[in-house]
Amino acid sequence: MSIEIRNLHFTYGEGTPFRKEALRNVNLEIRTGEFIGLMGHTGSGKSTLIQQVNGLLKPTAGEIRIHGKDIHSKGASLKDIRQEVGLVFQYPEHQLFEMSVYKDVAFGPTNMGLSKDEIHSRVVDALDRVGLGEDMQEASPFELSGGQKRRVAIAGVLAMRPKILILDEPTAGLDPKGRDEILGEIGRIHGKGDMTVILVSHSMEDIANHVERIIVMDKGEVRMDGPPKQVFQEVEHLEAMGLGVPQVTYLAKALEAKGCGLEGTVTTVEEAMAAIRSLLGPPGPAKGGGIHD
Amino acid sequence: MIRDITLGQYYPAESFLHSMDPRSKIVLTFTFILSLFLAKGAPGYGVAFLFLVLAIRASKVPPRFMLKGLKAVFMIILLTVFINLFLTPGGAVLFQWGVFKVTRTGLETAVFMALRLIFLIVGSSILTLTTSPISLTDGIEALLKPWEKVKVPAHEIAMMMTIALRFIPILLEETDKIMKAQMARGADFESGGLVKKAQSLIPLLVPLFISSFRRADDLALAMEARCYRGGEGRTRMKRLSYTRVDVAAALVVAAYLLALGLLARWL
């Protein structure tokens, strides 16, 4: 499903001394099946923007079209929109409330008024997608580890079978292993169908490793929009907004400045490895001082 | 949504009243509230009204914020007016319809009672609008201090109030977040009958309770890690001190009380 955002403005607490302009003239077009990384410093308006997309917040001005349909027009049901646009909040494990993992994941599908069999198949499928086996179904969600809790919460959204999946900082507060697992699962979920995925993250590495397109926000406006290679070229620009580029890009840039003949456009470790390999020539038996992998 | 609710309703601004010491503001507000019970007749209430207008001007808070507080107690005021209007005997009968009888005294009592309530609420709103919750509790603690001799736990009361106040915005934000997260999963908090509505709160209340306990635990640990052990021997970074502003305010209130007293004597 495609998302179109036109001239979107949003202000919190309009008409009070605490009014705060959160979004200013946002224009975006997101096509079906894209994998998008949304970056921005704290307070840049990322979270506000994603809440606009599934109708949890109402724009002060402007419009949002999901698959061509204005979500705030008459006749559009916000409940339907929220089924199509699945939103996983930051620290989603804080929303768990049921006695068992199974029941918690079933909460969304139950609200959709599905049949028991349908709910069952969706819950099992969703848990499987996030890598939780059948043996976990009857466990209390509060006994699980942090990473497992988070996966249960993500499964709770997946069970609604959204066509657009938005994840707000899905790796915040997880250890490196948990982070890689969750990101890998998100990548697999995206790879499987034509689901549109928007990943909000602070981590340049997470974004560089997974997404096809990066949208950078600052002070409520969209500042950059393009493929990772292009966006991560603008180091100074990103740093001025309190962001940065992946560590490996910094390294490649430093090597480029030293005149190693390496291009400073790499954004992932794999790319860097391949680039350095090709610079050193084809691997032969007489490999001098080299790269150990 | 919930974010719009500002509890403690503090209105940040730089004004004469904002710069006063919380202790003097609390004491003077109480003085004003007590004075309302001394005011007699139209001139008395006129003086009180003038004083309120002066105070509102000196607070730089838009008057509509003062009136917000009235909305909540509108029904109580209305009820008071009705009871006084119909049930006060004495004086000439102005209007009679069946058992309902309105007398002159009844009308007067009703009007003055309503004014007294309105002034009382607006007066105390001025205190909460111009004093941040934290300095309000500081003021209360300082005023309760002398009572510690008779075992009033002044510091503990103030600390409890501070923590409670500090947690209100956090819990509101948390409620907002969990509500949105459950709404994103198709939860419906608005429609349905009473039972259904109550049931729909479970997905909100369970996570909220869990996070409150977690936060309380974290806070207790953090306080202990910083060697908190109650109020004994504790010093403060921000010390309360009376300034010229407080003296001026006290003089204005004294003048107001004098005017009220003189009026009561003459009439």
Q: What is the CATH number of the domain that holds A204?
A: 3.40.50.300
Q: Please judge whether B185 and A89 are an interchain contact, meaning their C-beta atoms are less than 8 angstroms apart.
A: no
| Rounded Cα–Cα distance for residues A207 and B144 (Å) | 56
Q: What pLDDT was estimated at residue B7? A: 47
Q: Say if B173 falls within a structural domain.
A: yes
Best of A94, A98, A123 to disrupt the B interface (most B CBs within 10 Å) is A94
pLDDT, tens digit, 9 for 90 and up, residues A119-135: 999 999 999 988 888 88
| Pair B205, B243 in one domain | no
| Percent of chain B surpassing pLDDT 70 | 97
Q: Using the 8-state DSSP alphabet, how is residue B2 labeled?
A: G
Going from the C-alpha of A252 to that of each of A61, A268, B20, the distances in angstroms are 43, 10, 60
The count of domains in chain B is 2
Q: Please judge whether A16 and B206 are an interchain contact, meaning their C-beta atoms are less than 8 angstroms apart.
A: no
A13, A16, A111 ranked by CB distance to B186: nearest = A111
Nearest CA in chain A to B177: A89
Q: Say if B142 falls within a structural domain.
A: no
| Pair B33, B157 in one domain | no
| Pair B243, B230 in one domain | no
The count of domains in chain A is 1
Q: Say if A84 falls within a structural domain.
A: yes
Residues from chain A contacting residue B203 (CB–CB below 8 Å): 95, 97, 107
pLDDT, tens digit, 9 for 90 and up, residues B151-161: 888 888 888 88
Place of tokens 């309380």: B216
For A213, the 3-state DSSP assignment is: strand
The yes-or-no verdict on residue A233 having pLDDT over 60 is yes
Q: Say if B138 falls within a structural domain.
A: no
Q: Which amino acid is at A59?
A: P
Residues from chain A contacting residue B202 (CB–CB below 8 Å): 97
Residues from chain B contacting residue A58 (CB–CB below 8 Å): none
Q: Say if B136 falls within a structural domain.
A: no
| Pair B25, B126 in one domain | yes
A12, A54, A95 ranked by CB distance to B182: nearest = A95
A13, A17, A156 ranked by CB distance to B185: nearest = A156
Q: Say if A263 falls within a structural domain.
A: no
| Pair B262, B208 in one domain | no
pLDDT, tens digit, 9 for 90 and up, residues A14-40: 777 778 889 999 999 999 999 999 999
Q: Say if B145 falls within a structural domain.
A: no
What domain range is A166 assigned to?
3-227
| Pair B198, B123 in one domain | no
Q: Say if A253 falls within a structural domain.
A: no
Q: Say if A254 falls within a structural domain.
A: no
| Pair B194, B260 in one domain | no
Mean pLDDT of chain A: 87
Q: Please judge whether A156 and B12 are an interchain contact, meaning their C-beta atoms are less than 8 angstroms apart.
A: no
| Pair B214, B266 in one domain | no
Q: Say if A239 falls within a structural domain.
A: no
| Pair B109, B30 in one domain | yes
| Pair B228, B254 in one domain | no
Q: Please judge whether B180 and A51 are an interchain contact, meaning their C-beta atoms are less than 8 angstroms apart.
A: yes
Cα-trace Rg, chain B:
24
Surface-to-core class of residue A156, CB atoms within 10 Å of its CB (0-12 exposed, 13-18 middle, 19+ buried): buried
| Pair B74, B29 in one domain | yes
Q: Please judge whether A157 and B185 are an interchain contact, meaning their C-beta atoms are less than 8 angstroms apart.
A: yes
Measure in Å the smallest separation between the Cα of A111 and chain B Cα atoms: 5
Q: Using the 8-state DSSP alphabet, how is residue A195 labeled?
A: -
pLDDT, tens digit, 9 for 90 and up, residues A236-293: 889 998 888 888 888 888 888 888 777 777 888 888 888 888 888 776 555 444 455 5
pLDDT, tens digit, 9 for 90 and up, residues A77-101: 888 888 899 999 988 888 899 999 9
| Rounded Cα–Cα distance for residues A177 and A180 (Å) | 5
Q: Say if A249 falls within a structural domain.
A: no
In this prediction the ipTM stands at 0.82
Q: Say if A291 falls within a structural domain.
A: no
Q: Which amino acid is at A44?
A: S
Best of B10, B185, B200, B205 to disrupt the A interface (most A CBs within 10 Å) is B185
| Rounded Cα–Cα distance for residues A12 and A52 (Å) | 12
B4, B11, B184 ranked by CB distance to A13: nearest = B4
Question: Residue B10 corresponds to which tokens in the numbers above?
Answer: 């503090």
| Pair B45, B86 in one domain | yes
Query: How far apart are the two ends of chain B, measured CA to CA in Å?
Result: 51
Q: Say if A260 falls within a structural domain.
A: no
Q: Say if B67 falls within a structural domain.
A: yes
What domain range is B166 assigned to?
153-234
Q: Say if B182 falls within a structural domain.
A: yes
Chain pair A-B, CB pairs under 8 angstroms: 65
| Rounded Cα–Cα distance for residues B223 and B239 (Å) | 21
